[in-house]
A = this chain, B = another copy of it.
Amino acid sequence: MNQVRTLQACKLAGRESQPQNTVIDLKTCRLGDGQVVIIAGPCAVENEEQMLELAQSLKELGVHIIRGGAFKPRTSPYSFPGLGEEGLRILARARELTGLPVVTEVTDVRYLDLVLRYSDILQIGSRNMQNFGLLREVGRLQRPVVLKRGFSATIEEWLLAAEYILAEGNRQVILCERGIRTFETYTRNTLDVNAIPAVKELSHLPVIADPSHGTGRRSLVAPVARAAVAAGADGLMLEVHPCPDEALSDGPQSLLPVQLGQLMAELRPLAEALGRRL
């Protein structure tokens, strides 16, 4: 019932308009054709030395894409807002050093040119999923966009947000389930694992999962990451920090590099059992 309504409205994002999966080629990996893509990095870029060292570790672990925030939307005006352009420059150096593509969040149409200059993949964060002006602008680019689900957006609203980007001409949209707001307080959010196969049946777009924000607890990241892959996620976005207790944001949900290594070692046989590969 809801399904019919959704698909009617999503002329471009809907599976009917394109039966085969959209596959996005990102140099080091392909999103949407069976590979389990690993995106990892710190919540926020904090300083160059730390970032480059971490990037090197991620590269050695086999991570496909580096993430890192330069413009951070924060609930309070008094929290660390990210390093801005300096953070972008550091990210670009991490890219040079490792050869891995870089994804970073753009929060404002006015910073779009800047972010484009230093990164490979744009991220629209959860709070901006219905920032329609921003969606239209990234829709006019030919650059892959990770579109995070709003923390209280229905699946239908999320697909319609993707439709805004597609309708402007940019077809490289990567959906990212990152947890929804529910009554449960033990976890920071509730990663909605059901949304992963739901989106795969409703749409041809690739979908990844972010168990770091989805759970908010380091101890739950690995099992929920495995769950997301088993449910059909095309990839994972994971927060990693060399020293989570000192992180300027999201420390409690960040993995150590060694923990990411363990998780990736668990994911390889899992992917194989599912007929996929890391």
Query: Could you tell me if A183 and B186 are in contact, using CB atoms closer than 8 angstroms?
Result: no
A223 to chain B, nearest CB (A): 4
Q: Which residues of B contact A190 (CB under 8 A)?
A: 180, 182, 190, 192, 194
Q: Which residues of A contact B (CB under 8 A)?
A: 2-3, 6, 9, 11, 73-78, 107-110, 127-128, 130-133, 151-152, 154-157, 160, 163-164, 167, 180-187, 190-198, 200-201, 214-215, 217, 219-220, 223-224, 226-232, 266, 269-270, 272-274
A73 to B229, CA, bound (A): 34
Q: Of the candidates B73, B74, B152, B214, which one forms a contact with A151 in the assembled complex, judged by CB atoms under 8 Å apart?
A: B152
Query: Could you tell me if B75 and A157 are in contact, using CB atoms closer than 8 angstroms?
Result: yes
Q: Of the candidates B163, B182, B229, which one forms a contact with A230 in the assembled complex, judged by CB atoms under 8 Å apart?
A: B229
Number of this chain's copies in the assembly equals 4
Q: Of the candidates B73, B78, B229, which one forms a contact with A130 in the assembled complex, judged by CB atoms under 8 Å apart?
A: B73
A214 to B219, CA, bound (A): 23
Query: Could you tell me if B229 and A75 are in contact, using CB atoms closer than 8 angstroms?
Result: no
A266 to B78, CA, bound (A): 41
Give 4 A-B pairs besides A181-B183, A229-B230 with Cβ atoms closer than 8 angstroms: A154-B184, A187-B195, A194-B215, A223-B231
Given contacts A191-B193, A227-B230, contact A77 B163 (CB under 8 A): yes
Q: Which residues of B contact A194 (CB under 8 A)?
A: 184, 187, 190-191, 214-215, 220, 224
Please list the 4 inter-chain residue pairs (A to B) with the smallest Cβ-Cβ separation, ordered nearest first: A152-B152, A230-B230, A197-B223, A273-B273
